[in-house]
Chains A and B, each alone.
Chain A
Amino acid sequence: MSAIQIIPLNWYVTLSAILFALGVLGVLYRRNAIIILMCIELMLNAVTLLLVAFSAHHSDPTAQVFVFFIMAVAAAEVAVGLAILMMIYRNTKSIDIDILNKLKG
Chain B
Amino acid sequence: MTHITITQIMFCVLSLIAITSAALLIFSKSPIHSVLYLIVTFFAIAGHYILLNAQFLAVVHVIVYAGAIMVLFLFVIMMLNLNKETETHKPMWIQLMAVLAGGAMLVTLVGVLKGAEQMNLKQANDVNIGLVNNLGLVLFNDFLVPFELSSILFLAAMVGSVMLGKKTIS
User: How far, in Å, is B39 (CB) from chain A's closest CB?
Assistant: 10
Q: Taking the complex as formed, is B13 at the interface, i.e. its CB lies under 8 A from any CB of chain A? A: no
Q: Which A residues lie within 8 Å of B41 (CB)?
A: 19, 42, 45
Q: Is A57 in contact with B124, judged by CB distance below 8 angstroms?
A: yes
Contact between A22 and B22 (Cβ–Cβ < 8 Å)?
Answer: yes
> B125 in the interface, Cβ–Cβ < 8 Å?
yes
Interface residue from A17, A19, A30, A89 paired with B22 (Cβ < 8 Å)? A19
A18 and B19 within 8 A (CB): yes
Q: A68-B57, A84-B164 are in contact. Are A26 and B25 (CB under 8 A)?
A: yes
Q: Is A10 an interface residue (CB 8 A)?
A: yes
Q: Tell whether, in the assembled complex, residue B135 and residue A64 are in contact, meaning their CB atoms are under 8 Å apart.
A: yes
* Docked complex: A11-37 residues within 8 A CB-CB of B: 11-15, 17-26, 28-32, 34-35, 37
Interface, chain A (partner B; CB < 8 A): 1-15, 17-26, 28-32, 34-35, 37-39, 41-42, 45, 48-49, 52-53, 55-62, 64-65, 67-69, 71-80, 82-87, 89-90, 95-96, 98
- Other than the given A30-B89, A45-B45, A65-B143, 8 more pairs (CB < 8 A) read A29-B102, A34-B73, A38-B35, A57-B121, A73-B153, A74-B69, A85-B76, A86-B79
B interface residue count range (under 10 / 10 to 19 / 20 to 34 / 35 or more): 35 or more
Interface of A is mostly: helix
Give me the interface of B with A, judged by CB distance under 8 Å: 5, 7-8, 11, 15, 18-19, 22-23, 25-26, 31, 34-35, 38, 41-42, 45, 48-49, 51-54, 56-57, 60-61, 64-65, 68-69, 72-73, 76-77, 79-80, 82, 87-90, 95, 97-99, 101-103, 105-106, 109-110, 113-114, 116-117, 119, 121-122, 124-127, 129-130, 134-135, 138-139, 142-143, 146, 150, 153-154, 156-158, 160-162, 164-165, 167
> Known contacts A3-B11, A9-B121: does B54 contact A55 (CB below 8 Å)?
yes
A14 vs B83: C-alpha distance when bound (angstroms): 34
Q: Which 5 A-B pairs have the closest CB atoms?
A: A25-B102, A28-B98, A21-B106, A76-B157, A83-B161
